[in-house]
Chains A and B, each alone.
Chain A
């Protein structure tokens, strides 16, 4: 049963990634695109964790943690660039 549930959740997260891509392509303004990217990195963490559960290994945990950190820092950096025209003042 668990394998089926994992496949269903894979499909759900894949669908939400597609919705994010739609917002990334259509998004009328730059902050919209940042928001889409921000949501995409969180969804990709979910995808990686699910893949690890599917394979039965915990090796992918470190990758997920790294994506979480880099995603947050890059969101803040891009927002800072939009706000000030400079990242480190």
Chain B
């Protein structure tokens, strides 16, 4: 039973990580590429680490919860690194694709 839970969590995590990387390659401009790695990868990692938590808790007869630290850390830092990256992209005036709406909302930074 636990083997099934671990397997399903691992497969979900692996596919989310893969989807994040597919988004990184497939999307046409930088701002759209940013969406894949920041979101899909975060949930994928959380799912993988939950699988590892269940695995070590059952295989060693002692509760092992420290993997949750990495999940929390990634969950907290993902939006901040995304913000830093999008800020540097705006600073470098990277082009967004033609059909992007509301481009004039971007102000020049100092």
**Do any beta carbons of A and B sit within 8 angstroms of each other in the complex?**
yes
Question: Whole-angstrom distance from the CB of A64 to the nearest CB of chain B?
Answer: 6
Please tell me if A65 contacts chain B, counting CB pairs below 8 Å: yes
Count chain B residues whose beta carbon lies closer than 8 angstroms to a beta carbon of A.
48
Consensus secondary structure, chain B interface: helix
Mark each residue of chain A from 29 to 68: 1 if its CB lies under 8 Å from any CB of chain B, else 0: 1111011101100110110011011001010010011001
Q: Which of A9, A82, A83 contacts B11 (CB 8 A)?
A: A9
Q: Are B20 and A65 in contact (CB under 8 A)?
A: no
Q: How many residues of A contact B (CB 8 A)?
A: 46
Q: Which A residues lie at the B interface, using CB under 8 A? A: 1-2, 5-6, 8-9, 12-13, 15-17, 19-20, 22-23, 29-32, 34-36, 38-39, 42-43, 45-46, 49-50, 52-53, 56, 58, 61, 64-65, 68-69, 72, 75-76, 79-80, 82-83
Residues of B with Cβ closer than 8 Å to A? 3, 6-7, 10-11, 13-15, 17-18, 20-22, 24-25, 30, 33-34, 37, 41, 44-45, 48-49, 51-52, 55-56, 59-60, 64, 66-67, 69-70, 73-74, 77, 80-81, 84-85, 87-89, 91-92, 94
